[in-house]
A = this chain, B = another copy of it.
Amino acid sequence: MSQDAINFRDKLSLLSEQWSPRVVAEMNDYQFKLVKIQGQFVWHSHADTDEVFIVLNGQMSIEMRDKTVLLTAGEMYVVGKGIEHRPSAAQECSVLLVEPRGVVNTGDAGGAYTAANDIWI
């Protein structure tokens, strides 16, 4: 657990690779991860958990099979457990993810976008 204030801007400045979540804090068995995204991710779902997106900078969309949610800085959304979703962003967008420790970014889908897990910045 971090011992001091965690500054999102400072942490984001350390993060160059897109679609690669990095852990900045833990609360109980949950992790807070920063990620920069741009372009279109893969369709995937997480069978065992909800997933929270909090947009810090920019704008993104979360496409689901029945609707698309647009998120801008200062907005959050909870993707329900098991719901297929595909995040995307036209311009680079910075996001704070909240999910249980061990969740893999591509969920059930795997593939080239699958990032190493549990890496802190």
Contacts and interface: CB of A to CB of B under 8 A. Distances in A.
Interface of A: 1-2, 4-9, 24-28, 30, 32, 49-52, 56, 69-72, 74-78, 80-81, 98-100
Given A25-B52, A32-B52, A78 B1 contact: yes
Contacts of A7: 74-75
Given A1-B80, A25-B52, 16 more contacts: A1-B78, A5-B71, A5-B72, A6-B76, A6-B77, A8-B74, A8-B75, A9-B74, A26-B50, A27-B52, A27-B99, A28-B49, A30-B98, A32-B52, A56-B74, A98-B98
Contacts of A80: 1
- SS class, residues of chain A in contact with chain B: strand
B28 A100 contact: yes
Contacts of A51: 27
A77 B3 CA distance: 8
A80 B9 CA distance: 23
